[in-house]
Every structure is written in C-alpha cells, then in structure tokens.
Structure 1
C-alpha cells in the first residue's frame, strides 16, 4: 500500500480510505486489467459470428495472460497463497463464467453444439494461454514462440470450432 501511495502521490491513508484493504485493491486492480485487455463479453457479442467473436476473445485473453502484468501476477500467486485466492476469484473465475454463459447461449441458439460448456470454456482458455505464458511466468525468453503466436491462436480456434461448431 505504501508503494502504491508513493507512486500515486497520495498518502497511504488515502489509498486505504478508497479501497479499505490490500485485498480490495488487488481485486480492483485485477478487474481493471481484465477490462483493459477487453477480456469481456458484451450483449452485442451474442449476435456476432461465433468464430469472429471467439477469435477476438482469445486474442485479447492471450494478450492479457502473456503481458508483463499477467505473468507477474502469476509469479505473485505462486509466492503468496492469499494473493492467489484473490486473483482466482477476481480474474479467472469471472472470465470463465462469462465464457460459459456465452457458450450456453450459443448452444441454445444452435450455433454451437456443446454438452458441457464448463469443460469447453476451460479447454478454450487453457489452450489459448500458449507456451508464451508459461515461459513468461518462468522468466524465460519466448521470442520464437511469439513469432508464431497468431498462427497458434488461429489453430486453437480451429480445433475448438471443429469440436463444437455447427458441423461438429
């Protein structure tokens, strides 16, 4: 909290009065980062082409998880179980649940054929993290993987659509 107050040019008490606790601040920071990377689902997204929407969604999601902030948060979670729990509830859980709702809606419309949207959402999210994410968490270079990231994410989308698309 002291570092945040210093960087913001305010007192620690000001930060505490606005957020109340480190936990609330961390949750707010995670939610903001997810919003910054547009890892969200808006009402109008339900009417877009599923393939077009999912392509955009997975590219935004991947950009978030491979960013310095994303890999840094994962490193923090490894070191601090309390931060890990807060992170899980503020970031991955809401993203997963929004994607499950979207997949349920598309299944109801007949644009996707998914028996278990919870599994399908998890499959898509885990698959699209890419090795760039793990290399970032471990502090390893990922230039070679980044060079083929677009191709990799397009392949992930193709695998998902083959499994769950109308023609699956």
Structure 2
C-alpha cells in the first residue's frame, strides 16, 4: 500500500489503464477482477499498471469516481429538463435508485466506506466526484421550482438530502449488507414513486 493512497502518478498511459480497468470491473466486479485481466484489457504490462496504481482498491476508486461523474452528469441532465417537479424528480430518483442498487454502485459504496477511515481522501474524492455534483444539481433545481411557485421549502439543503435518502428507502441497506442484491422493477418503482410522492406531499406548494 502506498504511504498516501491519494498520490497517483499520471502519465501517457494513465487513461488507458483506467479505461481497461473500467471494462473489467464493470464485468467482473472488484473481487472478481484480476490484475492480469486489467493489464490485458488495458493493453499494458503489469509493471506499467503498478507504476500508476500500486493498489487495486485505489484503481477501483479512480474508476468509481469517473463512473460516478457519468451518473451525476446523467442526473444533472434530468434535473435540467423542463416539466413539473414530480416528473423531473421521478427521472432523477430513477437514476439515483438504480445506481445505488447496481453491483457497481454497491461495491463502490462498500470500498469507499472501508477505506475512508484509513485514507479520508478516498471517501472525500468519492463523495465529491458524484454525490456532491448530483446533490448540487438537485438543490439548484429545487430553488428554481421554489421561484416558480411549485415548491415551498425553507431549508433547501435539508430537503435535497431528504429526497436522496427517500430514494434509498427499504432496499439500499439490504443491498449494502448483502441481505438481498436482486430487486424486481416493481420493487424499485415502488421506492421511486414513494420518494417523489412523499417529497411532494411535504414540499409541494
């Protein structure tokens, strides 16, 4: 393990290594991904891979941060759509809930939590790479709907956090703890509809 897990060497093959790792992690998960497979997918030697990432967990977190940014961009695009809050929030809730419950989302969350005590920068980078971006977009959208008279909220930051937590209701904890990792579309839709209905019942003007 490197003395400072946040210190990453960057070079001309850095992106190549990360993209190869992304392909393998998304297919095989963290535990199933081998360094040999990652090096092969990235078309680099193991020595080159290790020169950038001496630790597989740090490589996974680099991939996770990029994937979280992709997810955040998708959620941001949804909150910038025109339309009633209930419809836009439903789209945003769908993106968040399905990512929370995905294999990749679950593994990312577990590793970020596990490593953040020893390496706080890992947890901070994970939080800032996706969750913070999506949350900021959500608060911006909520403020727009308040100005439009559709929502009535005094504490926007709290309301945004509440909405995100509503999207985790019933299923997320079971998923993280491994009690269940497979959920039907009907179960997921139930959480999404409940999140939006509860939020609008509390904050709809």
TM-score interval, smaller chain? 0.7 to 0.9
- In the alignment, structure 2 segments of 5+ residues that lack a partner are 1-16, 22-34, 53-57
* Count of aligned pairs between the two proteins: 159
Q: CA deviation at 1:10?
A: 3.1
| Alpha-carbon shift at residue 156 of structure 1 (Å) | 1.6
- 3-state DSSP class of the match of 2:140? helix
The answer to whether 1:119 aligns with 2:147 is no
Instruction: Name the residue aligned to 1:39.
Output: 75
8 Å contact kept, 2:68–2:129:
yes
Aligned to 1:28: 66
Deviation at 1:144, TM superposition (A): 6.8
Matches within 5 A, 1:7-22: 7-11=41-45, 13=48, 16=52, 22=59
Distance between the aligned counterparts of 2:185 and 2:129, measured in 1? 27
Which residue in the other structure is 2:40 paired with? Answer: 6
Deviation of 1:24 (Å): 5.5
Q: Which has the higher helix share?
A: 1
Cross-structure match for 2:5: none
The residue correspondences of 1:59-74 to structure 2 (distance < 5 A) are 59-74=94-109
**What stretches of structure 1 of length at least 5 have no aligned partner?**
none
Where does residue 53 of structure 1 map in the other structure? Answer: 88
User: Rg larger in 1 or in 2?
Assistant: 2
Provide the secondary structure at the position in 1 that maps to 2:77: coil
Alpha-carbon deviation of 1:7? 2.8
Query: What displacement does 1:41 show?
Result: 3.3
The TM-score normalised by the length of structure 1 is 0.79
CA drift of 1:134 comes to 1.4
1:74-124 deviation per Cα after TM superposition (whole angstroms, max 9, x unaligned): 110121113222111111111111100110111111111111111110000
Q: CA deviation at 1:42?
A: 5.3
Return the alpha-carbon distance in structure 2 between the equivalents of residues 5 and 90 of structure 1. 25
Distance 1:64 1:116 in 2: 26
Instruction: Call closer, same or farther: CA 1:162–1:138 in 2, change over 3 Å.
Output: same
TM-score by length of 2: 0.66
